[in-house]
Structure 1
């Protein structure tokens, strides 16, 4: 195991632990729902407990919901990303089973805000090191590889369904507090990493050919090459432009640092893409 893999595994462990703490100490006791698969698992656990004689914990449901998605991602996305993402899911489920459900405060606003912030820090750290917390992040990666369309609609639909269902089952206040938690989570993730699914990267380098080969060996992305000249040095260089997903940002930065640490890199958030996005 090299240093980079060690950092990634540590980030996955920390991200899983923070998400488990957010769920068991803040969101679950207050019946405030998380986003994505975690929120779906919370709702299913509540519904099963309320309308049947059986109980199934949120942690186990999160794990079960992610199994089929991980199998699909293994085939469609890539083994490394899927492995670290599913490891995060498995550890989160394990931590949620080990850590007791405990309410620090009866104030539902405090639970919504702190739960959202802690979960977002966990997600942001995991994304920053090239993995994810599973669920909709894996679905997003699959969709980004299968079709060049934004997944905001899917995320909005799932989170909207969670908010509406929570309001129907437990009153409109639960929907509003869940909305607060989702907003806080989104803003914090945006501050730590990026919430944009696609990013445009401009790289000015004197090692364009070597860097191109290194990028193509790791990422399935097209690159546009343009001649460039340094204004102060008058040195001939190349500018490489490419569009990536946020899940590939960590790998790309690592490749650039390895091949050409002196390269100038500018990363711009991309709202939409027209034309041929994939390399294959």
Structure 2
């Protein structure tokens, strides 16, 4: 990856952190509506600790919660991905502390919707550029590989705990608005990136051998090669079919652009796989 690409990725991660911090400090925290994953847990803990002798902000708690997750990700998921993800968490913590908490609207529904949209924009673009916002993304990836169950199951379980806790502590109306935020966040992320765990890439290229070599240098993924011919030109080409996780999509896109920028690639959601799919960390 070039220095320009690295710099651009860092800028995207920082912007994602800004969106996440604005979502929390301007919309979700003032309305007592909760985000998904570890961010929601940090919000809940901050709310509970406010009534004790040791209050702590959402940003600081989010950072502390992600330290053991970063160690787990480093060992099980991949070093580059984990470094960028932890940088995203650190940047979010910084902006949460920098940006003051203020009420933009008294309407709880507006806070839930706009908070969810802004959070999703930050998460979606961070994912699109090969990082994550840490927390549950990394934990769910590791658990999914160990148990061979969909990542969505773990997101659903954790978010259900957040919703139930919010309902018990602050009333079921807050829990319902939290559910609205989670739904909006999920839908917007689907538009910007994807929440599907696995994707299938179908690549039509004249440089099948070079592309296969470059992909195998960076990923441990099987590739199916099928002879193909252009419908208009009758040129001989190859169709490469590869199944990747959503976290590998960024790397795959850049490999294709470097080796054959004229390749035609179709990315489709993969709802299930039968047969061998490498799941252990790189």
CA distance, structure 2, for counterparts of residue 33 and residue 44 of structure 1: 11
- 2:19 paired residue number: 18
Question: Is 2:126 the counterpart of 1:126?
Answer: yes
CA distance, structure 2, for counterparts of residue 235 and residue 168 of structure 1: 65
CA distance, structure 2, for counterparts of residue 57 and residue 215 of structure 1: 43
Question: Is 2:224 the counterpart of 1:224?
Answer: yes
Q: How does 1:12-91 map to 2 (within 5 A)?
A: 12-50=13-51, 52-91=52-91
Q: Are the counterparts in 2 of residues 220 and 279 from structure 1 also a CA contact under 8 Å?
A: no
CA distance, structure 2, for counterparts of residue 251 and residue 167 of structure 1: 41
Q: Mean Cα displacement is larger for which, 184-193 or 231-240?
A: 231-240
Question: Is 2:142 the counterpart of 1:154?
Answer: no
Q: Name the TM-score, length of structure 1 as normaliser.
A: 0.96
Q: 1:117-171 deviations in whole A, cap 9, x for unaligned?
A: 1111001111111111111122233345545431111100000110011001100
CA distance, structure 1, for counterparts of residue 72 and residue 17 of structure 2: 21
Q: 1:90-117 deviations in whole A, cap 9, x for unaligned?
A: 0101111111111111111111111101
**Secondary structure, aligned partner of 2:141:** helix
Measure how far apart 1:233 and its partner are.
2.0
The size of the alignment, in residue pairs, is: 279
Q: 1:179-218 deviations in whole A, cap 9, x for unaligned?
A: 0111111111111111211111101112111111111111
**Secondary structure, aligned partner of 1:200:** strand
Q: Are the counterparts in 2 of residues 144 and 245 from structure 1 also a CA contact under 8 Å?
A: no
CA distance, structure 1, for counterparts of residue 212 and residue 7 of structure 2: 26
- 1:3 paired residue number: 4
- 2:253 paired residue number: 253
Instruction: Identify unmatched segments of 5+ residues in structure 1.
Output: none
Q: 1:57-91 deviations in whole A, cap 9, x for unaligned?
A: 11011111111111111111211111111000001
Task: Give the superposed CA RMSD.
Answer: 1.4
**Secondary structure, aligned partner of 1:18:** helix
Instruction: Identify unmatched segments of 5+ residues in structure 2.
Output: none
**Secondary structure, aligned partner of 2:101:** coil
**Secondary structure, aligned partner of 2:133:** coil
CA distance, structure 2, for counterparts of residue 248 and residue 147 of structure 1: 20
Q: Are the counterparts in 2 of residues 36 and 155 from structure 1 also a CA contact under 8 Å?
A: yes
CA distance, structure 1, for counterparts of residue 106 and residue 162 of structure 2: 22
Q: Name the TM-score, length of structure 2 as normaliser.
A: 0.95
Q: How does 1:129-140 map to 2 (within 5 A)?
A: 129-140=129-140
**Secondary structure, aligned partner of 2:50:** helix
Question: Is 2:172 the counterpart of 1:208?
Answer: no
**Secondary structure, aligned partner of 1:90:** helix
